[in-house]
Amino acid sequence: MITKRITLIFVSLFIVFSLQLKADEGMWLLSLIQHQKYNEMQAMGLKLTPEQIYDINNSSLKDAIIQFGRGCTGSIISEEGLILTNHHCGYSQIQFHSSVEHDYLKNGFWAESKAEELPNEGLTARFLVRIDDVTQKILRELNDTMSESERAAKIREVSSKLESEAIKDTHYEASVSTFFEGNEFYLMVYEVFKDVRLVAAPPSSIGKFGADTDNWMWPRHTADFSLFRVYMSPDGKPATYSENNIPYKPKHFLPFSIKGLEKNDFTMTIGYPGSTNRYLTSYGIREAIDRSNPTIVKIREKKLAIMREDMDLSDAVRIQYAAKYAQTSNYWKYFIGQTRGLKRLNVYERKRALENDFIQWVNSNAEARRRYTDIVPSIGRAYELLREFSQARWYFMEAIARGGELIMFSRRFESLYNEIKKADKDPVKIERMSSSLRASLNDFYKDYNLETDKKIFIAMLQMYYADVPSNLQPALLGQIHTKYRGDFNKYATYVYSKTIFADKSKVEAFLNRPNAQILEKDPVFKLMQASFTSYFDMLEKMKTGSEFLSKASRLFVAGLREMQSDRIFYPDANSTMRLSYGRVLDYYPADGVYYNYFTTVDGILEKEDPNNWEFVVDQKLKELIKNRDFGRYAKNGVMHVNFISNNDITGGNSGSPVINGEGQLVGLAFDGNWEAMSGDIVFEPDVQRTISVDARYILFIIDKYAGAQHIINELNIVE
């Protein structure tokens, strides 16, 4: 009997220990959780049923999660459509509403009533209605004789038909997404609300504490949150902004838990991760390390230096370029960290080992030889074909498309240009296009500073000319270099004095009387057209290699899934709703270094530096900390700020709720950690961590710092 008890205890401990060591890897489709990962999640602490997570007929967790705007996640946290997301996700909207007179970036914003909430044109809240597996419906229309171009065209054709059928006679939207490199397909149906208003945001000294220095780093001390609200028409349908709209009534919203978290507590995140490359081969790793990452970092570093210099000299420019700087900086640092992680963790060598295993499996299996012989070498040949274009492609994206703003701004006018050039031009269409462009001018010029843009324009063209092979540059750039004897400063002086796009009034005058010759003579428009023509020519040259790589990658992933048939595979992130799960967990980032799983407000005072804008501590917050005035949100007198868990997330998961086993919100995911920047390619269980704001710190800032009791009263807070 004793022996049996000891054996049972040993087995139980072994199971628990195994679960703790197991890599909680994967971004899983909610509709498949019941069959793929539910038992494991339940063993780790999940108390909900699969139907409470995803159900198309009854309210479930999925109904409380939104895609916030174009690239973040948010959650509904009240029965009046209140949205919780990251401060950095709402940063563009906070910046848009800011001015020198009303500096919400610096001072924060707290609407005291719904009447004070600020509308945001173009901002949307996308709710998932359902997920349908349409793999077989698409695959049966494909065959092995198709070229990759023909295959892609047929997929688009069938997908379009399926999307139309799915939303017939509804106000929904639908899209078919590709999974496993084109081996599976799922239809997503959405309800998209178009009236989303800013409710509250802490000052940047709280919501962005640590800024660039702490970005991607642990330990953190940041209240990275903001609040918005979804509105709907009185009949409950999505509608653009109107004073007649009413707060959205959700099918489900998340309650806050202030019970606190302990090490090994179960957590899950639900959100919209943007993209991962977990099935990237060693050839892709080498491309990232040697070419793409260093190129992106080099270009962005120059842009950031120019913006920062001008922002430090002027509050007006600081506000104008705050969001642009943050967007550029975020992935500048990310790619530095990714390269470091790929090297440090020997990812290239590990990918090579997997590929060698794949080759051995293919050679030992007759059916596999028929389908997958030469796949790995084919991927290598594809990268070889594409290598000569790599740097030029990234320079176009970073130095031209994301360089001087006037270049991409002028591209908005190309459709109008093409219309007014037609012999049978349509005056009604021209006026409609002109009106649309006219309506966008205020937003663009509000956040545009000519001198800053001119400096970036000069620097980017200098780098582009120096680093991109001449045969992959637009011919116009060489002509400019010859004419101005390599002096891009002189060329820029000419451009910015002659283009209509540097002056809002000139653009307005053009739109009042559109004339093709004005654009044809405009130096910015000419450079834009030449650059894009050159880029599209390059894409055509890359077509063979790109199609070769697409087919080989699809077959490689299909073969991997056959080779490891006992493994449950998850698809790469692609901006569709996913669930990941894990535990609250500390880690050892390096030899002799230990990081605890949480931080406290004491660390804010330890990091304080009044002479560094990144670490300025708000005076009221400082007083609250020194007085230990934490209300009911502290535990044993300790006010937690951030915590870490081993949930698997990536960009797009920003703003994802961190949910406990009972379906309650315990945190808000906002970052990954420096030691695992290669995590989009390889999940690193020993060091990969999700950094989140503790729910209690969010409530503390709303309640004790902002005094926004009306917001607290709107929430369901579980003690």
Active site residues: 88, 224, 654
How does DSSP assign 513-558, residue by residue? S--HHHHHH-HHHHHHHHHHHHHHHHHHHHHHHHHHHHHHHHHHHH
229-267 in b/e form (b: 16+ CB < 10 A) is bbbbeeeeebbeeeeebbbbebebbbbbbbebbeebbbb
For residue 637, the tally of other CB atoms under 10 A from its CB is 7
Residue whose entry in the numeric block shows the structure tokens 């539910």: 38
- Burial label for 640, CB within 10 Å (0-12, 13-18, 19+), is buried
Are residues 620 and 705 in contact, defined by beta-carbon separation less than 8 angstroms? yes
Token couple for 434:
């002109």
Token couple for 673:
């950690």
With a CB cutoff of 8 Å and minimum separation 6, the contacts of 36 are: 28, 568, 570
Cα atoms found within 13 Å of the Cα of residue 494, Cβ hemisphere only: 12
CA 587 distance to own-chain centroid? 25
Token couple for 247:
């707060």
φ/ψ (deg, to 5) at 388:
-65, -20
Distances in whole angstroms, Cα of residue 701 to Cα of each of 200, 262, 630, 643: 11, 22, 9, 16
User: Number of helices and strands (H, E) in the chain?
Assistant: 29, 22
SS3 153: helix
Greatest extent of the chain over all pairs of C-alpha atoms, in Å: 96
For residue 19, the tally of other CB atoms under 10 A from its CB is 16
Q: How far apart are CA 385 and CA 390, in angstroms?
A: 10
Nearest to 244 by CA among 235, 256, 255, 253: 235
Give the helix/strand (H/E) hosting 616.
none
**255 preceded by cis ω (within 30°)?**
no
Distances in whole angstroms, Cα of residue 688 to Cα of each of 351, 585, 587, 648: 18, 10, 9, 8
- Per residue, what are the HEC states of 509-523? HHHHCCCHHHHHHCH
For residue 452, the tally of other CB atoms under 10 A from its CB is 21
